[in-house]
């Protein structure tokens, strides 16, 4: 196709028309989108734009009917040659601070596999059990030796049903060559902890963190990124590899899967620094716990 001036003009006009704010009319989630969109679930919806027209487009998360949204360019896929493709997705428009509902604080620990998120979160909750409680995470993966009670194991059908009913506030699919691995948090589990007067503590990765921020608002999330020691990505990945092998829970194939995902997670810290309140290097466990404990006690007083 020849890219003449009229063709380019019409394409630019169509894009400009699409880049309007709007209101969500319907919303659904594709658990298995076409291969070119990658393995993550795709949230799509019918959006009525401010000029009255309607578009079927991607959403940043499952959104309620009537939610005001605005467009944002997002990375859709990366091909084998490293070329990136972007598309338009709609995300909730942040309300003014005076109008924004504030459901409560959530403490989120985000980092790649092997960085020590589970160890840190378990010790933290034990130290401040009067103030905080860990949120169980739903997963479709098989139970493994070394699992410490943080998971609720469900079938793929149950997980899909929860997605379709809108009961999951955040979810992700972790690519793996060995098994189907979905993870998610239920709104009811988080809200029960708030009702008990405590702070929910969640262990997340990039898609779970984005989902929680979209659902409850960025200011509700006290977000800590956990990084392995090392100044370069290569050094950090080497540290994660040693840790994953040392704990002896998984096969070499599973460890390779986790390292691939860990590399993307490390890039996420740089790409979405707006989602983190503080980055902690998990080199000395006692130091990390002291910093986190101080924040939990401060939030409880607030």
CB-count burial class (<10 Å; 0-12, 13-18, 19+) for 223: buried
SS3 at position 172: strand
- Picking from 183, 203, 206, 200, the residue whose alpha carbon sits closest to that of residue 270 is 206
Distance separating alpha carbons of residues 76 and 62, to the nearest angstrom: 17
* Cβ-Cβ contacts under 8 Å for 184 (sequence gap 6 or more): 137, 138, 139, 159, 162, 163, 168, 170, 171, 172, 208
Element of type H or E holding 204 = strand 199-204
Out of 40-54, 198-212, 215-229, least confident range? 40-54
Q: Which residue has the higher pLDDT, 124 or 11?
A: 124
SS3 at position 36: helix
Name the band, by pLDDT with cuts 50, 70 and 90, for residue 79.
low
What number is the average pLDDT over the span 235-239?
Answer: 83
Whether the predicted pLDDT of 135 surpasses 90: yes
SS3 at position 273: helix
What tens digit of pLDDT does each residue of 253-301 get?
A: 878 877 887 888 788 888 888 889 998 988 888 999 998 988 887 666 5
Distance separating alpha carbons of residues 19 and 175, to the nearest angstrom: 31
Residues in the chain: 302
Highest mean pLDDT among 20-24, 26-30, 121-125, 270-274: 121-125
Alpha helix locations (H) across the chain? 5-18, 117-127, 156-164, 187-195, 206-216, 233-247, 252-271, 285-301
Q: In the numeric block, which tokens belong to residue 255? A: 């460890």
What tens digit of pLDDT does each residue of 239-251 get?
A: 888 888 877 777 7
Highest mean pLDDT among 86-95, 128-137, 177-186: 128-137
pLDDT score of 227: 86
Triad 284, 288, 292: Cα angle to 5°: 170
pLDDT score of 5: 66
pLDDT score of 153: 93
Phi and psi of 106, rounded to 5°? -125, 130
pLDDT score of 240: 81
Whether the predicted pLDDT of 147 surpasses 80: no
Name the pTM for this structure.
Answer: 0.69
Q: What percent of the chain has pLDDT over 70?
A: 81
Full set of structural domains in the chain with CATH: 19-92 (2.40.50), 106-301 (3.40.50.300)
Q: What is the mean pLDDT of the chain?
A: 80
What number is the average pLDDT over the span 58-74?
Answer: 77
Name the band, by pLDDT with cuts 50, 70 and 90, for residue 109.
very high
- How far is it between the farthest Cα atoms of the chain? 67
pLDDT score of 189: 95
Distance separating alpha carbons of residues 133 and 190, to the nearest angstrom: 9
Asked if residue 176 lies in contact with residue 251, where contact means CB atoms within 8 angstroms, the answer is no
Name the band, by pLDDT with cuts 50, 70 and 90, for residue 141.
confident
pLDDT score of 155: 92
What tens digit of pLDDT does each residue of 87-108 get?
A: 778 888 765 444 456 788 999 9
Out of 61-65, 181-185, 228-232, least confident range? 61-65
pLDDT score of 37: 61
Number of H helices, E strands in the chain: 8, 14
pLDDT score of 94: 63
Name the band, by pLDDT with cuts 50, 70 and 90, for residue 223.
very high
CA 66 to mean position of chain CA atoms: 23
Q: In the numeric block, which tokens belong to residue 151? A: 């998971």
């Amino acid at each position: 196709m020849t890219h003449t001036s009229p063709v380019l003009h019409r394409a630019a006009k169509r894009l400009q028309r699409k880049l309007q704010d709007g209101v969500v009319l319907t919303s659904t989630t594709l658990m298995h989108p076409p291969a070119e969109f990658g393995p993550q679930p795709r949230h799509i919806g019918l959006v009525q734009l401010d000029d009255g027209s309607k578009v079927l487009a991607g959403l940043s998360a499952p959104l309620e009917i009537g939610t005001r949204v605005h467009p944002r360019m997002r990375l859709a896929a990366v091909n084998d040659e490293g070329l990136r493709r972007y598309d338009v997705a709609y995300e909730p428009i942040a309300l003014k601070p005076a109008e924004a509902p504030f459901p409560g604080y959530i403490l989120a620990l985000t980092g790649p596999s092997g960085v020590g998120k589970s160890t840190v979160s378990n010790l933290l909750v034990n130290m401040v059990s009067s103030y905080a409680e860990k949120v169980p995470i739903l997963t479709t993966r098989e139970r493994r030796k070394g699992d410490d009670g943080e998971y609720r194991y469900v079938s793929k059908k149950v997980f899909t049903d929860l997605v379709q009913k809108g009961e999951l506030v955040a979810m992700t699919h972790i690519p793996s060559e060995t098994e189907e691995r979905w993870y998610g948090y239920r709104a009811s589990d988080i809200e029960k902890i708030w009702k008990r007067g405590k702070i929910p503590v969640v262990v997340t990765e990039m898609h779970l963190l984005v989902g929680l921020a979209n659902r409850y608002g960025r200011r509700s999330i006290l977000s800590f990124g956990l990084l392995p020691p090392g100044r370069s990505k290569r050094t950090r990945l080497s540290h994660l590899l040693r840790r994953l092998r040392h704990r002896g829970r998984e096969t070499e194939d599973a460890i390779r899967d986790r390292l691939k995902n860990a590399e993307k997670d490390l890039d996420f810290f740089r790409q979405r620094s707006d989602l983190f309140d503080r980055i902690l290097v998990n080199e000395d466990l006692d130091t990390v716990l002291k910093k986190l404990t101080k924040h939990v006690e401060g939030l409880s007083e607030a």
